[in-house]
Structure 1
Amino acid sequence: MSALPDCVCPADGTRVRTSLEWCCPVCRGPLDLDHHPTPTPLKSLAGRVDSLWRYAECLPLGSPTVSLGEGRTPLVPLAGNVSAKLDFLQPTLSFKDRGAVLLAELALRLGPDRVVADSTGNAGTAVAAYCARAGLPVTVFVPGGTSPKKLTKMRAHGARVAEVDGDREAAAAAAREAADEAGTFYASHVFNPYFLHGTKTYVHELWEDLGGRLPEVLVVPVGNGTLLLGAALALRELHGAGLIGRMPALYAVQAEAVSPIATAWRAGARDLGEPASGAPTSADGIAIARPPRARQILSTVREFGGDVLTVTDPEIEAAQRDLAERGLYVEPTATACWAAVRGSERWGSRSLVVPLCGANA
Structure 2
Amino acid sequence: MLITMTAYVCPRCQVHAPADALTWCCPKCRGPWDLEFNSAPLSLKSLTSRVNSLWRYEEALPLATEIPHVTLGEGRTPLVPLTTPGTSALAAADTVMAKLDYLMPTLSFKDRGAVMLVELARRLTRGGGVRRVLADSSGNAGTAVAAYCARAGLDCVVYVPDGTSPKKLEQIRAHGARLTVVPGDREDTARAARAAADEPGTFYASHVYNPHFLHGTKTYVYELWEELGGRLPDSLVLPVGNGTLLLGAALAVAELHRHGLVDTRPALVAVQAEAVSPLAKAFHAGAEELSAPAAPRPTLAEGIAIPNPPRAHQILRAVRDTGGTFLTVTEDQIRAAQLDLARRGLFVESTGVACWAAVRAAPRPGLSVVPLCGAGAKTGLAAGAAAP
* In structure 2, distance between residues paired with 1:32 and 1:275: 22
* In structure 2, distance between residues paired with 1:27 and 1:221: 27
User: Partner of 2:227 in structure 1?
Assistant: 209
Deviation at 1:66, TM superposition (A): 1.5
2:6 maps to amino acid = P
- Give a deviation string over 1:16-47, Cα, whole Å, max 9, x none: 11121100011110000001212301111111
* In structure 1, distance between residues paired with 2:232 and 2:135: 33
Deviation at 1:64, TM superposition (A): 4.1
* In structure 2, distance between residues paired with 1:317 and 1:260: 21
* In structure 2, distance between residues paired with 1:131 and 1:150: 16
Question: Within 5 Å, which residues of 2 pair with 1:151-170?
Answer: 151-170=169-188
* In structure 2, distance between residues paired with 1:297 and 1:147: 27
User: Partner of 2:121 in structure 1?
Assistant: 107
Number of residues of Structure 1 aligned to a counterpart in Structure 2: 359
* In structure 1, distance between residues paired with 2:294 and 2:197: 27
Unaligned ranges ≥5, structure 1: none
Please tell me whether the aligned partners of residues 269 and 325 of structure 2 are also in contact (alpha carbons under 8 angstroms): yes
Identity, in percent, stands at 66
Deviation at 1:262, TM superposition (A): 0.6
Deviation at 1:343, TM superposition (A): 4.6
2:195 is the counterpart of 1:193: no
Deviation at 1:76, TM superposition (A): 0.4
User: Partner of 2:108 in structure 1?
Assistant: 94
2:53 is the counterpart of 1:39: no
Please tell me whether the aligned partners of residues 104 and 127 of structure 1 are also in contact (alpha carbons under 8 angstroms): yes
Q: TM-score, normalised by structure 1?
A: 0.98
SS in 2 for 1:38: coil
2:361 is the counterpart of 1:357: no
1:173 maps to amino acid = R
Deviation at 1:96, TM superposition (A): 0.2
Please tell me whether the aligned partners of residues 113 and 212 of structure 2 are also in contact (alpha carbons under 8 angstroms): yes
* In structure 1, distance between residues paired with 2:318 and 2:162: 32
2:310 is the counterpart of 1:292: yes
Deviation at 1:176, TM superposition (A): 0.6
* In structure 1, distance between residues paired with 2:14 and 2:317: 17
Deviation at 1:344, TM superposition (A): 2.9
Per the alignment, do residues 259 and 64 of structure 1 end up closer, same or farther by CA in structure 2, a change over 3 Å counting?
A: farther
Deviation at 1:72, TM superposition (A): 0.3
Unaligned ranges ≥5, structure 2: 85-94, 378-388
SS in 1 for 2:97: strand
SS in 2 for 1:73: coil
SS in 2 for 1:76: strand
2:138 maps to amino acid = T
* In structure 2, distance between residues paired with 1:274 and 1:357: 28
2:165 is the counterpart of 1:147: yes
1:354 maps to amino acid = V
Deviation at 1:218, TM superposition (A): 0.4
Please tell me whether the aligned partners of residues 4 and 63 of structure 2 are also in contact (alpha carbons under 8 angstroms): no
User: Partner of 2:13 in structure 1?
Assistant: 12
User: Partner of 1:172 in structure 2?
Assistant: 190
- Give a deviation string over 1:232-272, Cα, whole Å, max 9, x none: 11001100110000000000000000111011111110000
SS in 2 for 1:254: strand
User: Partner of 1:278 in structure 2?
Assistant: 296
* In structure 1, distance between residues paired with 2:294 and 2:346: 34
SS in 2 for 1:251: strand
> Pick from 259, 264, 267: which aligns with 2:282?
264
User: Partner of 1:59 in structure 2?
Assistant: 61
* In structure 2, distance between residues paired with 1:270 and 1:323: 35
* In structure 1, distance between residues paired with 2:333 and 2:369: 19
Deviating beyond 3 angstroms after TM superposition, the runs of 4 or more aligned structure 1 residues are none
> Pick from 304, 310, 330: which aligns with 1:312?
330
- Give a deviation string over 1:257-309, Cα, whole Å, max 9, x none: 01110111111100001223132001100000100000000000011110011
What is the RMSD computed on CA atoms of the aligned residues? 1.1
2:261 is the counterpart of 1:240: no
Point out the more displaced range, 102-111 or 268-277. 268-277
1:70 maps to amino acid = E
SS in 1 for 2:296: coil
2:76 is the counterpart of 1:72: yes
> Pick from 75, 90, 97: which aligns with 1:83?
97
Q: TM-score, normalised by structure 2?
A: 0.91
